[in-house]
Amino acid sequence: MSTSSNVLRPLGMLEKLYPARQLLNVYHSVIITATYENPLKLEDDFLCTTLRAALPGLLRRHPPLCCYVEGGETATPWFARLDTVEVRDILQFEDLERGRNLAEKLEELHDQPWPVGPNPLWKLVVIKELPTNSDTKVESAFHIALVFHHVIGDGLSGIAFHQSLLHELESMDQKNQEPQQVPDIIRTPIFTSLIEPIEKLIALPLSWMFLTKQVVKEYAPQWLIGAPSTVWAGLPHKTLHELSFHSRVRLVSIRAEDLQFLVEASRGHDVSLTSLLTASIASVLANKLPSASGFQGLTPYTLRRVTGTSTAEMVNQSTGFEIPYAAETLNRIRKASDVTERLDSLWATARYTHTQMRRELDKCPKDNLVGLLPYVINHVDYYKKKFGKAREATWEVSNLGVFKASPGSSSKTWNLHSMIFTQGAQPLGSAFTVDCVSVQGKSLTLAITWQDRVVEEDLVDAVAQGFMNLPRLLQ
């Protein structure tokens, strides 16, 4: 148990959503997992000492690592600083048994809720594969999973953290000396401050047309707005008594050379890679679900470019918007009878997706979904009333882009080889999520996550296969 001290600041309107989700047990964590390589093949004890030595610098660099949420059950929760942090709470080692894959370990981590009270809202889990009985050598590669509460950071925060961790490791390497011994209890910096919430940094104006549309969607009775949505989105939102919280993770890796090809092909058609990946999902689902008459895609993005917040900081400034895929789009996909027609429909869907994204980004921060949050009076009730209703989104595609080492990085012993971004089960979210991240010059990892039984596993396999087939389909 860590100890708490002073109040830092009240939670902002976006941040208030996450304690409510925690109270309802419907969203646990974001995980950014990086695979590190060290040719020295560090033994467990020395690796533990090295990572412990990096912790004080990480706590100084990223203030959200020093705080927790107080009053999460009230209408006015706040961030408070932890006086101390126990190493055992934030640094853990787990073995990956032979025959098990990393996705299964990530499922376990996502299913672990956060304790209430003055405890860190993050931890590092070092995952090493156990050698077989006939192979006793120490592996040069291991995984470090940053598991954190969404209230202290978004996906880009995970990238920022790993950049800082790599910097700490490189700094120790350059000094060419034994890692500093760190006590079991670390005192946090007394002068800790957090970045102001979004509403303190920018205005979020709403037009009457946008506001009216959202109010009607949220509160108007069904007899007034007509027939219910025909969007296919898996099983409806169910309480945890009806459907247990169990995260499922499916990982897909796109080789560096194939990734470069996909990026260049996307540029050649004036679309983004995210638009192409989204079009692939729509194409797969349209053919796998011939009776579906519509899909709804959710696309998160960051507000950092309008708030002026550096991507090197840990903070949650995420937002998103929805893109509808109507029967006309789905029928065009289904009518494709050969490779040429399939490609034409794929690129047409990608262009449509890209156009919708550009419109959203061009008007940002006007008519933004985050701007509606002042109208949410009780955040727990806001989520509770979703139980039993159809999901609003078929999928979510979140692309963090490319991890790049910090400028001046020149370590000869530390190398970050690959990265994975996952979100786990979302009982009150989309039917499934596709999270994307790559490492500069290396592979792209796509993580498909969903709540067990919300979608059929063969459907997820088809989406994954669609991603793997893209390079060959476009050549």
Question: What secondary structure does DSSP assign to 432-475, as a single string?
Answer: EEEEEEEETTS-EEEEEEEEBTTB-HHHHHHHHHHHHHHHHHH-
- Residue 115 shares a structural domain with residue 216: no
- Residue 91 shares a structural domain with residue 45: yes
Inform me whether the pLDDT recorded for 140 exceeds 90. Answer: no
Phi, psi of 216 (to 5 degrees): -60, -45
Which residue in this structure is represented by tokens 């989105």? 233
Query: According to the 3-state scheme, what is the secondary structure of 323-367?
Result: EEECHHHHHHHHHCCCHHHHHHHHHHHHHHHHHHHHHHHHHCCCC
- Residue 127 shares a structural domain with residue 216: no
Question: Are 324 and 282 in contact, with CB atoms under 8 Å apart?
Answer: no
Q: How far apart are CA 374 and CA 370, in angstroms?
A: 9
197 in any annotated domain: no
List the CATH number of the domain containing 371.
3.30.559
350 in any annotated domain: yes
Task: Say how far residue 105 (Cα) sits from the centre of its chain.
Answer: 17
- Residue 138 shares a structural domain with residue 91: yes
Inform me whether the pLDDT recorded for 463 exceeds 50. Answer: yes
- Residue 85 shares a structural domain with residue 125: yes
201 pLDDT tier (thresholds 50, 70, 90): very high
Phi, psi of 412 (to 5 degrees): -95, -10
- Residue 134 shares a structural domain with residue 246: no
46 in any annotated domain: yes
200 in any annotated domain: no
Inform me whether the pLDDT recorded for 360 exceeds 90. Answer: yes
46 pLDDT tier (thresholds 50, 70, 90): confident
Under DSSP, is residue 410 helix (H, G, I), strand (E, B) or coil? Answer: coil
Question: Are 32 and 160 in contact, with CB atoms under 8 Å apart?
Answer: no
* pLDDT value for 410: 61
What is the chain's Cα-based Rg?
23
Average pLDDT score over residue span 451-466 = 97
Question: Total structural domains in the chain?
Answer: 2
* pLDDT value for 355: 98
Inform me whether the pLDDT recorded for 397 exceeds 50. Answer: yes
* pLDDT value for 173: 81
- Mean pLDDT across the chain, nearest whole number? 92
Inform me whether the pLDDT recorded for 75 exceeds 60. Answer: yes
- CA atoms 449, 450, 452, 454: torsion sign: negative
Average pLDDT score over residue span 279-298 = 97
Question: Are 322 and 298 in contact, with CB atoms under 8 Å apart?
Answer: yes
280 in any annotated domain: yes
Q: How far apart are CA 394 and CA 282, in angstroms?
A: 10
The last residue of one of the domains, among 169, 192, 215, is 192
41 pLDDT tier (thresholds 50, 70, 90): low
For 183, the domain range is 4-192
- Residue 187 shares a structural domain with residue 299: no
Q: Which two tokens stand for residue 215?
A: 């109010």
- Residue 213 shares a structural domain with residue 173: no
Lowest mean pLDDT among 236-240, 335-339, 411-415, 442-446: 411-415
* pLDDT value for 416: 92
Average pLDDT score over residue span 297-320 = 98
Average pLDDT score over residue span 28-46 = 87
440 in any annotated domain: no
Average pLDDT score over residue span 93-106 = 89
* pLDDT value for 97: 81
- Residue 293 shares a structural domain with residue 356: yes
Question: Are 32 and 159 in contact, with CB atoms under 8 Å apart?
Answer: yes
List the CATH number of the domain containing 90.
3.30.559.10
Question: Are 446 and 251 in contact, with CB atoms under 8 Å apart?
Answer: yes
Report which of 20, 37, 364 is spatially closest to residue 169, judged by C-alpha positions.
37
Q: Which two tokens stand for residue 49?
A: 């000492």
CA distances from 382 to 17, 378, 400 (A): 9, 6, 28
Helix (H) or strand (E) holding 128, with range, is strand 122-129
Q: How far apart are CA 141 and CA 264, in angstroms?
A: 30
Report which of 125, 152, 108, 118 is spatially closest to residue 33, judged by C-alpha positions.
125
Helix (H) or strand (E) holding 190, with range, is none
- Residue 140 shares a structural domain with residue 289: no
* pLDDT value for 1: 46
414 in any annotated domain: no
- Residue 38 shares a structural domain with residue 158: yes
The last residue of one of the domains, among 126, 158, 192, is 192
* pLDDT value for 405: 78
Inform me whether the pLDDT recorded for 295 exceeds 70. Answer: yes
Question: Are 122 and 147 in contact, with CB atoms under 8 Å apart?
Answer: yes
Q: How far apart are CA 247 and CA 226, in angstroms?
A: 35
- Residue 465 shares a structural domain with residue 378: yes
Task: List, edge to edge, every strand of the sheet that includes 141-148.
Answer: 91-96, 122-129, 141-148, 30-37, 415-422
The last residue of one of the domains, among 153, 169, 192, is 192
Tell whether pTM > 0.85.
yes
Q: Above pLDDT 70, what percent of the chain?
A: 93
Q: What is the DSSP letter of 269?
A: T
Burial of 178 (C-beta count, 10 Å sphere; 0-12/13-18/19+): exposed
11 in any annotated domain: yes
